[in-house]
Structure 1
Amino acid sequence: MTRRLLRVLPAVLLLGGAFLLGRFLILSPGDRAARIDGPVTGIVWQVDDATAKPEGEWQRLGADHLLIQWILVDGIGFARGTGGKAPTQMPDWRRIAKEPWARHVTLGLAGDFDEKKARENALQLARTSAAIAGKKPPLAVEGYYFPVEVDPTWKEAAEVMPKALALLPRPLWISVYDNSNIGGEALADWLSTWLPADVGVFFQDGAGVAARSPQTARDYADALSARLGKDRLRVIAEAFRPLPQGGFRPATVQELMPQIALMEGYALYLFDGPHYLDDTLVDALVKRIDERD
């Protein structure tokens, strides 16, 4: 997000590496390709030119689900047949389909990097999304994501979003955040007044932008689950932190582990894999998880 989670454009940070010993780090190349049981359900991929060729070992954290934020953004089509301008690089969708972290895909449709613009044009984005849903890349698509984020400060959401969501295929998901800190129960109450019963929610934990602590984020998740049902809730852990001069950096192991540990029992996705979770950070997380277990 331009403002936060699904609009952030990352600052490049080189993480120092070290050789880490542990059962996951001495696997053969063939074994490394297999999914390993772990606390992470999936990763988010905010598709852009910089990450059009995503590479990572996120399956070592347990990830075998992939949330693709969009395939058409700002008029640029990252899948053939979407009608957008060609990107600098087209993702190799057939290769991605074979990755262990992409066995179950939730496909984002048409969006805009600018949140304000996306909200103003939500109905048109929904119409475009409906038109391109059948142009999906050759992936194991199990559902769809409408990349117009909501939060309680968007007063028009209750009127606009039901109309937009009615145009889209199911299963369908949206994402929600709360920088106003109204509380999990109040957020659940607000959503329940307008969100269709067959639409699921990705809740952004807010830790990456210091909106709340991981424990408070867990309280939010519990409140949303109690109101919406656990099957309609997935949690996004923000795997980044703001830089003093602007932009973002990857979260450290010490920062990210509480977000992972405290969401045990929920379907947990990390935002986002290609921008913030390189192999060095994955190595360090695996070691910490192994030590904890």
Structure 2
Amino acid sequence: MGCASRPLDQPQALAQGIVWQIDDDHLDPRGDWDRLGVTDLLVQWTAVDDLSFLPGTATHRKSRLAGLTTSEHLPDWARIAGEPWARNVIVGLAGRFDETTARARVARLIAQSKQLATVLPPGHIDGYYFPVEVDPTWAGARALGPLLEQLPRPLWISVYENSNIGGPALADWLTRWLPPDVGVLLQDGCGVGVRGPAAARAYADALAARRGKERTRIIAEAFRPAQKGAFRPATAAELAPQLLAYRGYRAYLFDGPHYVSARLVRDLLEEAARR
């Protein structure tokens, strides 16, 4: 089964999804992101650095063999499944906080992901996400293609591109090794200042032309650089142009619990109404 196409829930929605990157300080996501039109929750991962946030993982023999242990503190998955912004859940599988380590341990993360996919959270599962991010500088990315065949479908990965090689070149690189039924979540690069919304939209259009619009979605970076290498939430004036530029695609805010507060939601609605 490939990545199914679904109509947008609200034609004038500013966003269709949020990303939730689980860490010890963000185990209880709460927000009013549905006011923006959000109905999809993309969970960045359900296990990171060998620690699972799904109940029962440690009692699963194959999960123990894959090196997973269960966190002492777990999200309230049942409550989350009832939120209006989590009507459809894309379950992130096994990842690492450090990108270099993740790429070096892809085979192990695939094995862990296969086990996590058998211990799912409640709610409507709309797909799976393998959270090892790819970009054209990763020389070993081609080896990922055959490994992804082991994971359930619909399946998504994310891609970023920081050298501005252009959307057609990125689409060509992906098409050379990525299984055709795997969907692509394009990180727009606006949060790190790589490109603006119009250029990000052009990248998405190039990916959709090669891989299909139903397998192309956009991650809108809802942050901006701050001092000393940190990041701050984007302002409504900064973020609204991204979301307006991506209309026609399913756009996911990265990430809701860290960066998209109730005040920012209100400001976004006001900013969009002015434009």
- Per the alignment, do residues 207 and 183 of structure 1 end up closer, same or farther by CA in structure 2, a change over 3 Å counting? same
Kindly provide the CA deviation profile for residues 92-141 of structure 1, in whole angstroms up to 9, marking residues without a partner as x. Answer: 00000000000001000111001001011111101110112010111211
Contact 1:123/1:163 (CA < 8 Å) preserved in 2? no
Q: Which runs of 5+ in 2 are unaligned?
A: 1-9, 59-67
Contact 1:39/1:260 (CA < 8 Å) preserved in 2? yes
How far 1:264 sits from its partner (Å)?
1.0
Q: Which residue of 2 aligns with 1:221?
A: 204
How far 1:88 sits from its partner (Å)?
5.3
TM-score by length of 2: 0.90
Contact 1:36/1:61 (CA < 8 Å) preserved in 2? no
Contact 1:36/1:60 (CA < 8 Å) preserved in 2? no
**Aligned equivalents of 2:52 and 2:15: distance in 1?**
29
Q: Does 1:279 align with 2:259?
A: no
Q: Which residue of 1 aligns with 2:170?
A: 187
SS at match of 2:266: helix
Q: Does 1:291 align with 2:274?
A: yes
Whichever residue aligns with residue 219 of structure 2, its letter is I
Question: % of aligned pairs identical?
Answer: 55
Kindly provide the CA deviation profile for residues 39-68 of structure 1, in whole angstroms up to 9, marking residues without a partner as x. Answer: 211000001111100010000000000100
Q: Which runs of 5+ in 1 are unaligned?
A: 1-34
**Aligned equivalents of 1:180 and 1:266: distance in 2?**
23
**Aligned equivalents of 2:71 and 2:114: distance in 1?**
21
Taking only aligned residues, the RMSD between alpha carbons, in angstroms, comes to 1.4
User: Superposition pairs for residues 29-108 of structure 1, below 5 Å?
Assistant: 38-83=13-58, 84-87=68-71, 89-108=73-92
**Aligned equivalents of 1:243 and 1:209: distance in 2?**
10
**Aligned equivalents of 2:140 and 2:159: distance in 1?**
14
Q: Which residue of 2 aligns with 1:237?
A: 220
**Aligned equivalents of 1:82 and 1:60: distance in 2?**
34
How far 1:86 sits from its partner (Å)?
3.9
Contact 2:33/2:265 (CA < 8 Å) preserved in 1? yes
Whichever residue aligns with residue 150 of structure 1, its letter is V
**Aligned equivalents of 1:44 and 1:55: distance in 2?**
12
TM-score by length of 1: 0.85
Q: Which residue of 2 aligns with 1:113?
A: 97
Report the count of equivalent residues: 257
Contact 1:44/1:271 (CA < 8 Å) preserved in 2? yes
**Aligned equivalents of 1:155 and 1:107: distance in 2?**
27
Contact 2:117/2:152 (CA < 8 Å) preserved in 1? yes
